[in-house]
Structure 1
């Protein structure tokens, strides 16, 4: 009961703003999930988030992950299997190209210190701030580098959330092409999900599927960076608690991906009826609504303005290059 009372004010705020977003989305030609983020950002940067509501607002990441798990019920596995090898090759190629390009630009062109460049590369190449934090842990990065990289990634999360659907509308991209492109090249899972479902249900499903495939690389990349940045420390100096290779892979791995795969399997084995799948899809939509309001509430425009121009230019150059080439490849492939 104590926990419930602590979370209730924040949950009420998320739900209240979410309902307003739904009304605005019905009045104006905007998807209600995009409106939810914009509304949350507007409230967070004007009125602010009261201390009483912070605990409940902080649950928005849980609702996002739960919503993604539930969307697994709507994934047609035969369609995914048909495109699977192509998607997997694209994911590996885009992740590798983005990381290498950001590292090269940061170190050679813009003279950014190694840690910051690596965190920018991980955030751009895999899953946004989550990858920044995971790699920062694996290389014991300086807190300033973490803040710098995370703020830059958040800036591009906000920009791409609006820019990608706009580009899709201008170019008239097919839903599947847009979903795959967004899942391959946008940064964080929340904005990818919002942008995908803002275009269509099909685009959203493909965006989430591809993004989760890309997210799965976080463990491998974190371990690789740990090896590259390894210092001469013995197990005794670290208290003998250093995890083995499997532990270091599992620690940063996004656990909700396991739930998503399980729900996909259950739905495609015929264990769920059409009505049940529809109910899960509706529940996911409401959970996304709460999650995206919370995401908006945590965006701080003042922090984004304080980001230096060099990290922004590095990520911008890499994003323009990788997203342009990737879009051409996806259009040719699908």
Structure 2
């Protein structure tokens, strides 16, 4: 069909049809690829140029984007402190403000071009107008999270972004001009492909078998057990809600929930409910778990593995691990990264199960195997590809660890954070409490989450103690 700006008699080209068929998954992969290639190229060119100027064989990797891509800074008394900083001489600069605006310029330009390419004339402008508003809300959320007292309690930007969106949606309602840019899945899928570049296979090798056992054995056991518990014991009517909560709680929180929701075609209200519970319990766990660990005197390495396998958010894992020391932080973050690899595996497994056993007609006929491929979240392919490619660059490219590390730290990780923050704001803007009430009926979703997380905590602690405290204790201590 012609787009809104074309006349009825205007022929539609094959290019227009093919563009309309580009899903959020492929568009996310394309946008993330541009960011990754562009960031890597900037670091390589700048580092090579610095080496030629100094005449040194090896120099520190330079990321020229680092000063132009950023987010609000930590502040205490005045919110203006989130966008300015004072150097040792007392001079005031607006570096954080320019870096925030730089992030907006890059993301708005790239994403609006992508939407314009896919949806046709006028769509890019509508998206850009709405994106400015959503980005402003994300900036406000980031600034709230960076307040010194708030930051001390590890209340991360994701929680504030969700709350900001929810307040607007459930009071004045989401304005119509914002809606073209309320693209939750597009934002988070693009961010997840960028996350793939951070999940380096070298981290898997660093902890080897003990890390794999904690992340890859316990996780599927908890996912399957929680799903069966929800169906057989709690009798949850919506299988997709049951599965999304199970994947969210057992694998790695929001990222796994998005992949699971795509694989089983869950409703957006079900996804919002799962993510809301995940974020709420993440805040509680990252505060309570370190206190419990210190009270019982658990070894730091075992404690790190326990937190890495149970706390949903990667950022929350790092924050909780840091309270116990550098060694606990390293083990916790590494176990979580290993667990993140299961996003693709779990998505494929859920899609296969849904096609083979859930979506049958009255006569028991099941869809063909091709339906698994149609159902499989394509953005997971981008996540896996980015992980493999940048792991190879990290390991085999000259100066790989410094170059890839500078690329991630100076640009892609920051942009990934913005995309996640935009996604959480969008989730809030799309969610009304009145639509969530039916899913809370009887308290079954909450009971499912509590039961599954309890099982997760127990099994992960036992596996972490067995692997890191007994079988491989001497090897890890070296």
Query: How large is the Cα RMSD of the aligned pairs?
Result: 3.9
Q: Distance in 1 between matches of 2:381 and 2:340?
A: 14
Counterpart position of 2:451:
317
- 2:293 matches 1:162: no
Q: Distance in 2 between matches of 1:16 and 1:315?
A: 33
In our comparison, the structure showing a higher alpha carbon Rg is: 2
State the Cα distance separating 1:123 from its structure 2 match.
Answer: 5.5
Q: Distance in 1 between matches of 2:370 and 2:175?
A: 42
Please state which structure has a larger fraction of its residues in helix: 1
Pairing of 1:52-131 with structure 2 (within 5 A): 52-58=177-183, 60-75=184-199, 77-113=201-237, 115=239, 119=243, 121=246, 124-125=249-250, 127-128=256-257, 130-131=259-260
Equivalent pair of 2:131/2:178 in contact (CA under 8 Å)? yes
Q: Distance in 2 between matches of 1:179 and 1:68?
A: 24
Counterpart position of 1:285:
417
SS in 2 for 1:48: coil
Matching residue within 333, 341, 346 for 1:217 = 346
Counterpart position of 1:143:
none
SS in 2 for 1:49: coil
Q: Distance in 1 between matches of 2:371 and 2:126?
A: 39
Q: Distance in 1 between matches of 2:414 and 2:178?
A: 26
Counterpart position of 2:355:
226
Matching residue within 383, 386, 389 for 1:257 = 383
Pairing of 1:175-190 with structure 2 (within 5 A): 184-185=309-310
State the Cα distance separating 1:178 from its structure 2 match.
Answer: 7.4
Counterpart position of 2:126:
6
- Structure 2 residue runs without a partner (length 5+): 1-115, 117-121, 323-328, 469-478
Equivalent pair of 2:134/2:178 in contact (CA under 8 Å)? no
Counterpart position of 1:51:
176
Q: Distance in 2 between matches of 1:213 and 1:21?
A: 29
* TM-score between the two structures when normalised by the length of structure 2: 0.54
- 2:150 matches 1:26: no
- Structure 1 residue runs without a partner (length 5+): 138-145
Equivalent pair of 1:10/1:55 in contact (CA under 8 Å)? yes
State the Cα distance separating 1:109 from its structure 2 match.
Answer: 2.8
Aligned residues: 316
Structure 1 pair 228–89 and aligned structure 2 pair: CA distance change class (3 A): farther
Equivalent pair of 2:137/2:161 in contact (CA under 8 Å)? yes
Using the TM superposition, name which of 94-103 and 314-323 deviates more: 94-103
SS in 1 for 2:380: coil
Using the TM superposition, name which of 312-321 and 91-100 deviates more: 91-100
Counterpart position of 1:298:
430
State the Cα distance separating 1:51 from its structure 2 match.
Answer: 1.6
Structure 1 pair 13–207 and aligned structure 2 pair: CA distance change class (3 A): farther
State the Cα distance separating 1:13 from its structure 2 match.
Answer: 2.0
Counterpart position of 1:267:
394
Equivalent pair of 1:33/1:289 in contact (CA under 8 Å)? yes
Q: Distance in 1 between matches of 2:355 and 2:457?
A: 27
Structure 1 pair 114–55 and aligned structure 2 pair: CA distance change class (3 A): closer
- 2:403 matches 1:276: no
* TM-score between the two structures when normalised by the length of structure 1: 0.74
Could you report, residue by residue, the CA deviation over 1:222-241 in whole angstroms, capped at 9, with x for unpaired residues? 21343334454669xx7xxx
Q: Distance in 2 between matches of 1:265 and 1:76?
A: 9
